[in-house]
Amino acid sequence: MMRAFLALLARDLRLAVRLGGGGGMAVFFFLIVISLLPLGIGPDRALLAKVAPGMLWVALLLAALLTLDRLFQADYEDGSLDLLTMGPLPLELVVVAKAVGHWLTTGLPLVVAAPLLGVLLNLPGEAYPPMMAAMLIGTPALSFLGAIGAALTVGIRRGGLLASLLVLPFYIPVLIFGVGAADAAAGGFSGEAGRQSLLLLGAVALASLVLGPLGGAAALRANLR
């Protein structure tokens, strides 16, 4: 079972690397949204520093959302998803493999790009470590919760927009606690608030690690009958 899991994960990673159009595009989108922001609200450095953690997180959420339809849609269209449901791997683990693959090819590059974009927004130096930690903890939750939305809309024509609408409310706790961690460092709150945010973010991420595969597998079963 472990071999099947790893084989599926390796296949997804290989597909992502060779086909392109996934993580790279998400990072590009992230960059463009962040560059639009100063054009929209003006180049005031103090104001940019103030909104930087929140804007980085919101742009990251949107960039992660854009790639959700790659999670199951291509496999559904060429029929490999049907094969996967008949294979030795429980559907829950298929979802786990897919979500981990999505995180490695989308979430991780976004986290790596975030500090560079933080420089563009004049993010204060002491906010970088907590923000990076929060993004590393929080982005897996985005992939796992997103898997539910992607599984719910698999096989629906133009389901990408619907998946975004369904998933965004579930991203709210990640956004709040993620921004909380960086804000506490940047805004001069006590270190306690930032630490609590990180812990709560970890709790949300762990919960989504359970909820994502269960919900995603149930949704796939509903859609693939």
Applying CB under 8 A, the residues found at the interface with another protein are 148, 152-153, 156, 159, 162, 165-166, 168-170, 172-173, 176-177, 180, 183-184, 189, 193, 200, 204, 207, 211, 215, 218-219, 221-223, 225
**Minimum gap (Å) between residue 18 Cβ and another protein:** 32
- Assess contact for 126 and 116: CB atoms under 8 A: no
Give 8 or 220: the residue with its C-beta nearer to another protein.
220
Q: What is the largest CA-CA distance in the chain?
A: 57
Give 38 or 155: the residue with its C-beta nearer to another protein.
155
Give 4 or 176: the residue with its C-beta nearer to another protein.
176
**Minimum gap (Å) between residue 156 Cβ and another protein:** 5
Give 10 or 161: the residue with its C-beta nearer to another protein.
161
Whole-angstrom distance, CA of residue 168 vs CA of residue 39: 25
CA-based angle 73:74:77, to the nearest 5? Answer: 85
**Minimum gap (Å) between residue 186 Cβ and another protein:** 13
Phi, psi torsion values for 85, nearest 5 degrees: -65, -25
**Minimum gap (Å) between residue 219 Cβ and another protein:** 5
Give 67 or 153: the residue with its C-beta nearer to another protein.
153
- Assess contact for 52 and 122: CB atoms under 8 A: yes
User: How many Cβ atoms are within 10 Å of 203's Cβ, its own excluded?
Assistant: 14
**Minimum gap (Å) between residue 119 Cβ and another protein:** 25
Among 204, 196, 215, 212, CA closest to 103: 212
Give 16 or 99: the residue with its C-beta nearer to another protein.
99
**Minimum gap (Å) between residue 144 Cβ and another protein:** 11
- Residue 19: CA count within 13 A, CB half-sphere: 12
Burial of 124 (0-12, 13-18, 19+ CB in 10 A): middle
- Which two three-digit tokens encode residue 161? 């927009």
Whole-angstrom distance, CA of residue 38 vs CA of residue 211: 37
In this structure, what DSSP letter does residue 104 have? I
